[in-house]
Chains A and B, each alone.
Chain A
């Protein structure tokens, strides 16, 4: 019982540090990648000087994240005189908390057996093994959608309670955009659920460690390449990032629904957005890229299509799985940032038309084709 508690606390600590780490690193990646893409030096102003010397540590601008954090903490905490202070105060948290909670059902590694990692641990943990996931819930992906629905309410509350016309317009845009794209997002995932026959994310990852046609890794993206593209597009729109950042379009709405927020409250909105990039990355990795496993890899080691197998010690498997998961998530995050600096912003009517007249029918068609194919193959 106490061993369960210790393991749960370790996993929760790991998840929070991973998310916070991604949130901080991605603010830097976004700037640095923009600089690289537009052939600038970029993000090199913040530095730490070693006291008493003239040595400045720039480290490719990595300290910009710290500078941002300090600025947000020390800035004046401006509060508008609004007709609902309660909604105004609670809105950043309604946006931020569900984003963190979503990670609870995402498996970030296979089974962990502490006794096999280091023999003396057996005294405390016994021979039991735990899946590396905070909550092993059978409802998996449904929980993800349930929580992401809460963020919509947060964005609308923030815009409404700010007593600012720009904020209200931003909130209206955020509300209708997120409702539309959440539908598309759920529809694209349905095809995958049909194929795997479960909504449990851990089982979905385990089912992706085999092969298709003898040589391809059985990843979701191989089964559902079309859904993968739609999912990523809808997820970026759900996260309100360029080219879908209409709710906070600077040239039209100042900062949209969080115009009236300053200091750390504004920081929470920004941080939630950056963590959500990582969450989208983690979800895409789990559903379409085989989760924490390398191709042909299971908890026991590698099993190549030719018939060759490589057994791995438990510690190596755990470290590989953790590292592979983080790497895949980072690649998907970097791809999202690539899109952000490549495409121009849509017009608002185009965003909604794109959702309802283009992506929604495509997602439905994908689902129908998948359903027929699954039915035909099983019959």
Chain B
């Protein structure tokens, strides 16, 4: 009985984490208050980290939490902290008016998917399936195969930062004029 439960514990946890990540992602979309949106995103990232961990890629799990939560979300929370929380424009109403229609549509979609694909659901890989994805393999793959993607992403991010600055400057010019 217990060993039966333990044998399926990985799959159970995987589904629990995936479900929680899904719920937090949905909450991130429907919540209106900036800080709660940020918190939903943080929990989504952490649960996704758990999913990666259960799939056996502990490095990706650690980087998921380290980079997205420890770096990106910390800065977002820092910025949101400096917003005026009583600003009506930022929080106006608790949910968007599409909350209920969206939720119902979502539930229907999820149900359709669940019914359609229930038997094809993947299971968490058990034990040592092939070589473990350790830091040597990760570094080799990262620095030989994916370095171009990585560099391109950083250039894109820089472009996005410059664009954001340009948008702010444009608005300020309008305000003054």
Query: A182 contacts which chain B residues (CB < 8 A)?
Result: 70
Does B134 have its Cβ within 8 Å of any Cβ on chain A?
yes
Does A337 have its Cβ within 8 Å of any Cβ on chain B?
no
Does B78 have its Cβ within 8 Å of any Cβ on chain A?
yes
Decide: B62 and A146 in contact? CB cutoff 8 A: yes
For B, the interface residue count at a CB cutoff of 8 angstroms equals 35
Q: How many A-B residue pairs have CB under 8 A?
A: 99
Decide: A1 and B6 in contact? CB cutoff 8 A: yes
Decide: A168 and B58 in contact? CB cutoff 8 A: no
Given contacts A2-B6, A90-B39, contact A149 B81 (CB under 8 A): no
Does A78 have its Cβ within 8 Å of any Cβ on chain B?
no
Interface residues of A in 140-172 (CB under 8 A from B): 142-143, 145-150, 152-153, 156-157, 159-161, 168, 171-172
Decide: A146 and B6 in contact? CB cutoff 8 A: no
Q: In the complex, A132→B65 CA distance in Å?
A: 25
Decide: B49 and A153 in contact? CB cutoff 8 A: no
Does B16 have its Cβ within 8 Å of any Cβ on chain A?
no
Chain B residue at minimal CB-CB distance from A183: B71
Which of A138, A157, A171, A175 sits near B134, CB closer than 8 Å? Answer: A138
Query: A172 contacts which chain B residues (CB < 8 A)?
Result: 78, 81-82
Does B7 have its Cβ within 8 Å of any Cβ on chain A?
yes
Decide: A84 and B134 in contact? CB cutoff 8 A: no
For A, the interface residue count at a CB cutoff of 8 angstroms equals 36
Q: In the complex, A198→B134 CA distance in Å?
A: 9
For the complex of A and B, the 8 pairs showing the least CB-CB separation, nearest first, are: A149-B70, A142-B62, A146-B65, A139-B58, A146-B66, A139-B62, A160-B81, A1-B3
**B residues at A contact (CB < 8 Å):** 2-3, 6-7, 33, 35-36, 39, 42, 46, 49, 53, 58-59, 61-63, 65-66, 69-71, 73-75, 77-78, 80-82, 85-86, 132, 134-135
